[in-house]
Amino acid sequence: MTNMKLIIKTLKATFDAIKHRPIVYLPFLIFAVLETFSLIVLNFAPCQPLVAVFGPPIKTFFSERYLHYPTYFLLLPKLSALSRMVLSVIFGSFLTGAAINIIFDLYHKKHVKLGNSLKSASKKYAALFLIYLLVTVLFYYSVRIYNSAMLKYFMAGHTKLLFLSAKLWLGPLLICANFVIAVIIQSIFIYALPILIIDKGGLLGSIWKSMVMFKKLFVPTIILVTTPMLIYVPIILLNSNSSFLMNKLFPEFMLIVTFASIVLSSLVIDPLITISTTFLYLINKEG
């Protein structure tokens, strides 16, 4: 089967599942609720009594000025992103495992029971947790190392790199590089989860097989991962211009942007990537 036919068949299965069997959406909805609750808590972090808990770490890692209005709203998107990382590792790993089990049952036209899917995911929770942790750590430090390298290079006195100015490298190109890093890391490990849940694989074996599968299905995987993630680009652009937006509009606008980020990430991007790549794995394996 050609790459194009494989992609079309996968997308058809994905949208049919979302349209006709909305239970596949439930794990992602649960995670979105958790993220929204986290955002509500973070929104009131500078206020009593929550400031007693959140105040010291914000002062330590950022600055005391971020505990005051309206500057706090500059920090809110970053705190929400950090919260998402933690929630993804602890809860997202488990809920994604349940979603994959649901997709497997749908693919084989079995009766779907959420309880059974949650039970199946719970048996592999430790491995799911570690894979999510590995992906999160790799992404966080890859982005941090790349960004730091760019800053050090231009702070050393260089004005250009590959004939391009520092303004481009530390602006649009930095955003593009971080996006590419996210796509590549997620794509490499994307099949480890269905291998764990569907094939009952071990941790290291699932990671290795995922790398092999990624190489084999490179083009379809990159397309299925990249396309939904492009939906997030407007949020990235809004966050990169947060100071300007707060001055031109109102500080609370960043709260709206952060909530929109949760909606897009948890209810659009994550479901599309997880469902489509799981169907791709099943079609390639059993089709």
Q: Is the peptide bond before 27 cis (omega within 30 degrees of 0)?
A: no
CA dist., res. 232 & res. 230, Å (int): 5
Instruction: Please tell me the number of Cα atoms within 13 Å of 258 on its side-chain side.
Output: 27
Q: Please report the pLDDT score of residue 55 as a whole number.
A: 85
Q: What is the pLDDT of residues 250-269, one digit of tens each?
A: 888 889 999 999 999 999 99
Q: What is the DSSP string of 115-174?
A: HHHHHHHHHTHHHHHHHHHHHHHHHHHHHHHHHHHHHHHHHTT--EETTEEHHHHTTHHH
Q: How far is CA 142 from CA 114, 146, 161, 180, 182, in A?
A: 36, 6, 20, 11, 9
pTM over 0.85? The answer is yes
Q: What is the pLDDT of residues 121-156, one digit of tens each?
A: 999 999 999 999 999 999 999 988 988 888 888 888
Could you say which residues of the chain have pLDDT below 70?
1, 287
CA dist., res. 75 & res. 81, Å (int): 10
Strands 160-161 and 164-165: antiparallel
Q: Please report the pLDDT score of residue 153 as a whole number.
A: 83
Q: Which domain holds residue 201?
A: 3-286
Q: Please report the pLDDT score of residue 1 as a whole number.
A: 65
DSSP symbol at 266 = I
On whether the CB atoms of residues 220 and 143 are closer than 8 A, the answer is: no
Instruction: Please tell me the number of Cα atoms within 13 Å of 270 on its side-chain side.
Output: 25
As for how many domains the chain has, the answer is: 1
Place of tokens 């209005």: 69
Place of tokens 């590549």: 184
